[in-house]
Amino acid sequence: MTDLKTGELHSDVAVVGAGPAGIAAALALAHLGAKVALVGPAPAKIADARPETRTAALLTSSVDFLKRLDVWDSLVPHAASLKVVRIVDASRSLLRSPDITFRASELGLEAFGYNIANTVLVETLYERAREVLPSVLPTTVNEITLNQSEAQLELGDGTHIFTRLVAGADGRKSVCRTAAGIGIDTHLYDQGAIATSFRHTLPHEGTSTELHRELGSVTSVPTPDAFTSSLIWVASMAEIEELIACNDSDFAAQLQSRLGDVLGNVSDVGARANFPVGGLSAKQLAHNRTALVGEAAHIMPPIGAQGLNLGLRDAAALADCVAAALGRGHDPGCQAVLNAYVRARKLDILSRTVGVDLLNRSLLTNLPPVQAARGLVLAGLNALPPLRRMVMRVGLAPPAALPSLMRPMAEQANLAQAPHLGA
């Protein structure tokens, strides 16, 4: 792919951004036969800038995707199964909703998914990318020039990449999005989120507990150690600033007062980092030889574990669209391929962003009718197991067909063996 004389690099797709969504996209594209260059600072460099304390609860389709990309086996020792999700209304409202418990076993599943530290996930994906991709360039993209037949990327190390499609997985301040002339809609909620971890004296038993309260939520998520959970604390900006400033024992005391006896005594709080809570939606998912992937396209509040799962579905769907085009000898960056990508992703993205936004707003409001409606929905879910199962299925899978690399291996094998009925 590299012309040694000129130092120029030529690819079908240049993936910009070595975050989890970008690396997964590069691996998926290469797995399906595209010539890919992955550009972005290496994970260690990013971790220097701000401690990455987040974990990601990955749903079953994301796990199936990681299996197909041959990274899952390395992740297993670091993954905690998520068997039960408990939602508790800890507000002071007179119209408190009933507690609700979702069990993976009700769907015949061992787990809804697995919780993994972002650092481990990204480093493992990056290692795999360095093993299998011909071009992994640990630098930034400084400039992008788009024209009718190709895109040209100028990198921080002076390299030039000529490519037919740019996969913009470069996060919230995406240069790819700007270069393609794609605008954004944003929404700030005056909330922040702290991601950290803590030890507790009662075992978590694979249960994630979400305590919803006025202006935010406190969510514990199991880690591979039965007595350690990761924590996402969403609250008003002012409260988050106070919680970040306080010392470890004061933070543990505050957490204890929120969690009560849910996990026994709380101790050994890990490093804390805070993240802005907001919504961002790109006005177009793809335009001008550029397809957006992950947080470059959509950001949502960290409730319901949807963000990266959605980004991984973008990655897998883009790989399908590009592979189909290359298989027919078509240009992978042409408008028809970009349109196919938008069609494949728009309903899933819209339903998740709107759903998470509504849930977050329902937690922010003091309006009795909204609180009563939430209570009624949760009471209905408690009383009606089929409805509860339906909600769990919707939470796990997108409203459209899963991309090919996210279908369970068994389903893939059946498809391969099935007689070819098409013309």
Ligand X SMILES: Cc1cc2nc3c(=O)[nH]c(=O)nc-3n(C[C@H](O)[C@H](O)[C@H](O)COP(=O)(O)OP(=O)(O)OC[C@H]3O[C@@H](n4cnc5c(N)ncnc54)[C@H](O)[C@@H]3O)c2cc1C
Going by the DSSP 8-state scheme, the letter that residue 403 receives in this structure is P
Q: Is 291 in the site for ligand X (CB under 6 A)?
A: no
Tokens of 80: 């905690």
By beta-carbon proximity to ligand X, the closer residue of 242 and 331 is 242
Name the helix (H) or strand (E) containing 366. none
Stretch of 143-151, 255-263, 308-316, 401-409 lying at the interface with ligand X (CB under 6 A): 308-316
What are the b/e assignments for 264-297, b being 16+ CB within 10 Å? Answer: eebeebbebebbebbbbbbebbbbbbbbbbbbbb
> 31, 122, 114: which is closest to 76 by C-alpha?
114
Residue 69 as a binder of ligand X (CB under 6 A): the answer is no
Task: Verify binding: residue 152, ligand X, rule CB under 6 A.
Answer: no
Indicate whether 80 belongs to the interface with ligand X (CB under 6 A). Answer: no
Verify binding: residue 294, ligand X, rule CB under 6 A: yes
From the list 54-62, 70-78, 243-251, 342-350, the region that binds ligand X by CB under 6 A is: 54-62
Q: Minimum distance between the CB of residue 289 and ligand X, rounded to whole angstroms?
A: 17
Q: Does 206 bind ligand X (CB under 6 A)?
A: no
Instruction: Please say whether the dihedral angle defined by the alpha carbons of residues 344, 348, 351 and 353, taken in this order, is positive or negative.
Output: negative
Q: Which stretch binds ligand X (CB under 6 A): 80-88, 166-174, 242-250, 321-329?
A: 166-174
Using DSSP's 3-state secondary structure scheme, residue 232 falls into strand
| Burial class of residue 81, CB neighbours in 10 A (0-12, 13-18, 19+) | middle
Instruction: Give yes or no for residue 216 binding ligand X (CB under 6 A).
Output: no
Closest listed residue to residue 341, CA positions, set 315, 360, 366, 363: 315
**175 or 317: whose CB is closer to ligand X?**
175
Query: 16, 13, 15, 19: which is closest to 308 by C-alpha?
Result: 19
Structure tokens at 28: 């998926």
Smallest separation (angstroms) from ligand X to the CB of 220:
12
Binding of residue 19 to ligand X (CB under 6 A): yes
For residue 250, the SS3 value is helix
**Residue whose CB is less far from ligand X, 266 or 356:** 356
* Residue 192 in the binding site for ligand X (CB under 6 A): no
Stretch that binds ligand X, among 278-286, 307-315, 339-347, 377-385 (CB under 6 A): 307-315
Measured between alpha carbons, how far is residue 367 from residues 126, 250, 274, 360, 361 in Å?
A: 46, 32, 28, 14, 11
Q: Are 162 and 144 in contact (CB under 8 A)?
A: no
Per CB under 6 A, the list member of 9, 85, 141, 316 interacting with ligand X is: 141
Interacting stretch for ligand X, rule CB under 6 A, among 53-61, 93-101, 157-165, 391-399? 53-61
Please report the sign of the dihedral spanned by the C-alpha atoms of residue 49, residue 51, residue 56, residue 62. Answer: positive
Binding of residue 104 to ligand X (CB under 6 A): no
Q: How many residues bind ligand X (CB under 6 A)?
A: 33
Q: Residues, the chain, total?
A: 423
Q: If binding is defined by CB under 6 A, does position 41 make contact with ligand X?
A: yes
Per CB under 6 A, the list member of 9, 285, 308, 349 interacting with ligand X is 308
Instruction: Decide: is 270 part of the binding site for ligand X (CB under 6 A).
Output: no
What's the CA gap between 333 and 34, in Å, rounded? 12
Q: Which is nearer to ligand X, 326 or 359 (CB)?
A: 359
Question: Residue 288 or residue 371: which is nearer to ligand X going by CB?
Answer: 288
375 scored as a contact of ligand X (CB under 6 A):
no
In this structure, the strands spanning 266-267 and 184-200 are antiparallel
Instruction: Pick one of 56, 100, 316, 381: the residue that binds ligand X (CB under 6 A).
Output: 56
Residues of this chain that bind ligand X (CB under 6 A): 16-22, 39-41, 46, 54, 56-57, 140-141, 169-171, 175, 193, 195, 232, 275, 294-295, 302, 305-309, 311
